[in-house]
Each structure stands twice: as C-alpha cells, then as structure tokens.
C-alpha cells in the first residue's frame, strides 16, 4: 500500500501544528511525511482522514482489546447516555464494575476509581506511604507508571546512575523528589532485595510492572519480590494498567501466579473511556475511607470525573465480552501467530533481532543479546526499529513505537496481511544493510 495524503488531511496537519505543541497529543508522534490524522476506527482497523486503512496494533494504546466500536460496547454506552453523563456521586455502574473487579482480580478486596492510569499509580503509591507512614517508594529502572513526578523517575535515563539513585525523566520535576524514590534493576532479585532490606525502615512500598514494558519477569523474580516485601510488611504494588484483563481475566497476578497488596488498573477496565482504579487489600484501601477523615491517616481522593458512569458501563460491557469462554485462548492464539511469524521473518532475513513479550503484547528488539531489563534494551538498534516501524506504516500497519497490542478483532486475514508486511519490511531492512 502506498499511503496518499489528501488536501483535507494536509490542511488538518497544518492546523494541528498551529495549536498543538508539535502538532500532536504527545502520545504518538509521526514527523513530516508520516504525520497522520485518524478519522475513525472499526474492529481491528483505523482510517486516516485521507482514507488510508491501517491494521491497528496501537489499539488506543491498549484499551481497545475488543477492537474499535464493538457493537456490545456501543449498545451499552448509547443506551446509558440518556441517563446523563456524570453525577460526582456513587452510581449503579461503578458498584457493578467494582464488584466485577473484586471477583476477577486476586488482590482486590476494595476498589477506588479515578480517570487515568497515572492517577491510579500515583494514588497507589500515596496509599502505601500513608499505610506504612514512611516516605520512599522503590520502582524499577525502565518501569513506566505514567507521568506523576514520582513515576517519571528513571524511566528512560540517558545517564545511568548507580542503583538505587533516581533521576527524573522530565523537566519541571523538583530535584528533591528524586530522594523519595529508590531504583532497582528489573529481573535482578538479589539487587532489589538488598536495596529493600537496606532501606526497609524508610520504604513505604514497591511498585513494579509485572511485565515491564515488553520484558516478562524472570522465573522467581515476582515471587521473590513478594517474599521480601511480605517479610518486612512493605506493600507490593503491581501496575496492571497494561496487563489487567489482558494477560488473563485476573491480570498478570493471575497469569504469573503472584498476588500483590495493591494493583493499579486502567486501559481495558474503562472500555476505551477515561477510567482507572486502585484495587487492593481492605486494610490498605481503608485509608481512602472518609471515616478516617479525622485521623492523620486519611488519603482524600476527589475527582470530578472519578467513577464516571458512562466509562463504567463501557468497562462492564468490555469485561462481559472478555468473560466469554475461549476468549483468552483466541487472543493468545492470534498473538502467537503474529509473534512467531515475526520471529521467523526476522530470522530468515538474518537480521540481528528477537521478539520479546507475551502473546497479547510484544515487539522486536534489534539485538541478538538477551533483553532482561532496561539496560539491556539499550543494546538494541533503535534506528533500525524506527525504520522497521516506518516500513510497516507505509504498508498499512499501525503500531506504537515499541508495542504490538493484539485484539480479539484481528482476523486471520489481518494476520496474513501483517505477516506479508513483516516480510516486505524485513527484506527492505536487510537490503538497506
Ligand atoms: C504500565 C503503565 N502504567 C501507567 C500508565 C499510565 O496510564 P495513563 O496513560 O492512562 O495515565 C501506562 C500508560 O501507558 C502504563 O503503560
């Protein structure tokens, strides 16, 4: 496919440049010729304003696991809309959604809603601090937990500090906050455990993506973290914004068999609408309870759109689809075909590359060295990755900079189309040397 650009889309790109920094939302950025304005999505496809169709592996950065405009979600949302948009008060859909989260997610005894994944991780960390009455949180280098001042520590550091020193990945973060975070290498249990033990008296909690970006946990890593945090009474927070309801109905904690104290949920749980949640043990979640207001242990959380009923209805409709028998087998089978097909193509093209991830979420690293943590990702050839992504985009494959999200809407035809694009892109990369 050769993408064409209509006058209408070119005009919109110019208008975007005038009013949006970089002409973009900051989420995905396609410079110059690659810029595009999305017009609509249906199932596994999106179309830009010029009418080019893409097989979509960006999936709205993950929420659209059923595909775009799924009829069951559309029906549930549109039939709710006449009851209003938001009330700021407890409503029926949030109770049903909280009940479903408690049924599904092993660590969930109580649930509190907010609007974005960043808020969920931010409040999970604050809750841990309130519960332990201690200031510091340990996170892993390369782990992404959204955009709070705490979460942006050591996400993609250019200068590698010695562990456990944190460094902010954003301008505008007070330098003093770096001291409130401790950084450990993902998948290195002994270093993480040593830091936890050394700092146990000031540590409020440990936050981890159980599947960090694309990197699966090494055998025993999550189990070891669970043991060492439990031994010292330190809350373990799983950031399941990506993995929740994706790796299994109960998330990564079900899939990997390790139950944390708290989980941050987002993306799928809102069915494509702004909704996120902190779920966890009652003993910790009680700090959100207004009966605590008179004490110094209360964590107030007030949000205009927190627990929005329309988003909760979309989430409930999405979860209902996911509960159907065979759903996860199907999601994993589609992902597996793509993942193994991609690995085969890269191998046949003799490119130094590997596919990293799990079936519903994976991507390529252009290195033949093992990828186990942030520092090992730096060995990968990022220019080659950019070229590969561009070659795929030209062939009608839309994806994030470093992620293929798989949906239940991707058909065998979509998979075949994608495997053809993989082959052509890999050949072109090999040809470019
Ligand atoms: C693991 C993880 N945590 C938190 C977030 C932040 O979520 P949001 O973008 O909804 O603020 C993301 C977003 O991609 C994420 O991948």
Taking the C-alpha atoms of residue 46 and residue 396, their distance in angstroms, rounded to an integer, is 10
Q: Which atom of ligand 1 is nearest to the CA of 146?
A: 6
Decide: pTM greater than 0.95. yes
Taking the C-alpha atoms of residue 306 and residue 270, their distance in angstroms, rounded to an integer, is 11
Residue 386 known to be catalytic: no
CATH number at residue 108: 3.40.640.10
Kindly tell me the burial class for residue 96, based on how many C-beta atoms sit within 10 Å of its own C-beta (0-12, 13-18, 19 or more): middle
Q: How many domains does the chain have?
A: 2
Mutate to test the pocket of ligand 1, among 123, 170, 242, 253 (most ligand atoms within 8 A of CB): 242
Per-residue pLDDT of the chain (433 residues; tens, 9 = 90+): 567 999 999 999 999 999 999 999 988 877 777 889 999 999 999 999 999 999 999 999 999 999 999 999 999 999 999 999 999 999 999 999 999 999 999 999 999 999 999 999 999 999 999 999 999 999 999 999 999 999 999 999 999 999 999 999 999 999 999 999 999 999 999 999 999 999 999 999 999 999 999 999 999 999 999 999 999 999 999 999 999 999 999 999 999 999 999 999 999 999 999 999 999 999 999 999 999 999 999 999 999 999 999 999 999 999 999 999 999 999 999 999 999 999 999 999 999 999 999 999 999 999 999 999 999 999 999 999 999 999 999 999 999 999 999 999 999 999 999 999 999 999 999 987 6
**Domain end among 307, 322, 337:** 322
179, 165 Cβ separation under 8 angstroms: no
Pocket, ligand 1, Cβ cutoff 6 A: 61, 116-118, 121, 144-146, 209, 239, 241-242, 266
Taking the C-alpha atoms of residue 171 and residue 17, their distance in angstroms, rounded to an integer, is 22
| Catalytic residue selected from 144, 150, 249, 405 | 144
**Domain end among 274, 299, 322:** 322
* Closest listed residue to residue 156, CA positions, set 361, 378, 305, 310: 378
- What is the token pair recorded at 302? 């007030």
Q: Which domain holds residue 146?
A: 71-322
In a shared domain, residues 290 and 404: no
* Closest listed residue to residue 242, CA positions, set 216, 224, 220, 204: 216
Taking the C-alpha atoms of residue 264 and residue 118, their distance in angstroms, rounded to an integer, is 9
Distance, first Cα to last Cα, the chain: 23
- What is the token pair recorded at 96? 């049903």
In a shared domain, residues 108 and 27: no
Residue 412 known to be catalytic: no
| Catalytic residue selected from 139, 267, 399, 403 | 267
* Closest listed residue to residue 170, CA positions, set 205, 145, 201: 145
In the block, residue with structure tokens 């060995």 = 379
Mutate to test the pocket of ligand 1, among 123, 266, 272 (most ligand atoms within 8 A of CB): 266
Residue 267 known to be catalytic: yes
Tell me whether strands 136-140 and 354-358 are parallel, antiparallel or unpaired.
unpaired
Distance (Å) from CA 46 to ligand 1 centroid: 22
Mutate to test the pocket of ligand 1, among 28, 117, 124 (most ligand atoms within 8 A of CB): 117
In a shared domain, residues 276 and 353: no
Q: Running DSSP on this structure, what letter comes out for residue 9?
A: H
């Amino acid at each position: 496919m050769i993408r064409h650009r209509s006058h209408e889309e070119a005009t919109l790109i110019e208008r975007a440049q005038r009013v949006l920094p970089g002409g973009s939302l900051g989420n995905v950025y396609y410079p110059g010729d690659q810029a595009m304005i999305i017009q609509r999505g249906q199932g596994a496809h999106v179309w830009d304003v010029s009418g080019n169709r893409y097989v979509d592996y960006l999936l709205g950065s993950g929420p659209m696991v059923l595909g775009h405009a799924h009829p069951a979600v559309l029906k549930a949302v549109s039939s709710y809309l006449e009851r209003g948009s938001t009330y700021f008060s407890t409503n029926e859909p949030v109770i049903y959604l909280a009940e479903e989260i408690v049924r599904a997610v092993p660590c969930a005894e109580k649930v509190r809603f907010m609007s974005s994944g960043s808020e969920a991780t931010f409040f999970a960390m604050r809750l841990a601090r309130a519960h332990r009455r201690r200031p510091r949180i340990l996170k892993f280098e390369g782990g992404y937990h959204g955009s709070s001042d705490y979460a942006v520590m050591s996400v993609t550091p250019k200068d590698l500090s010695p562990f456990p020193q944190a460094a902010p990945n954003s301008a505008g973060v007070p330098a003093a906050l770096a001291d409130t975070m401790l950084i450990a290498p993902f998948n290195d249990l002994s270093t993480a455990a040593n830091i936890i033990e050394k700092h146990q008296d000031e540590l409020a909690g440990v936050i981890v993506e159980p599947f960090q970006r694309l990197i699966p946990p090494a055998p025993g890593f999550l189990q070891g973290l669970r043991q060492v945090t439990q031994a010292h009474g330190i809350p373990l927070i799983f950031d399941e914004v990506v993995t929740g309801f994706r790796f299994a109905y109960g998330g990564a904690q079900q899939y990997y068999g390790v139950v944390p104290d708290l989980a941050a949920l987002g993306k799928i749980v809102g069915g494509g609408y702004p909704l996120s949640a902190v779920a966890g043990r009652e003993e910790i979640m009680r700090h959100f309870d207004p009966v605590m207001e008179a004490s110094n242990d209360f964590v107030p959380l007030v949000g205009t759109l927190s627990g929005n009923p329309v988003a909760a209805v979309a989430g409930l409709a999405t979860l209902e689809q996911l509960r159907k028998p065979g759903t996860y087998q199907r999601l994993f089978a589609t992902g597996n075909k793509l993942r193994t097909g991609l690995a085969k193509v890269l191998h046949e093209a003799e490119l130094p590359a590997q596919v990293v991830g799990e079936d519903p979420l994976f991507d390529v690293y252009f290195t033949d060295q093992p990828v186990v943590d942030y520092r090992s990702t730096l060995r990968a050839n990022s220019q080659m990755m950019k070229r590969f992504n561009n070659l795929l985009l030209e062939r009608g494959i839309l994806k994030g900079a470093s992620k293929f999200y798989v949906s239940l809407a991707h058909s065998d035809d979509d998979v075949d189309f994608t495997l053809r694009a993989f082959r052509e892109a890999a050949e072109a990369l090999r040809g470019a040397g």
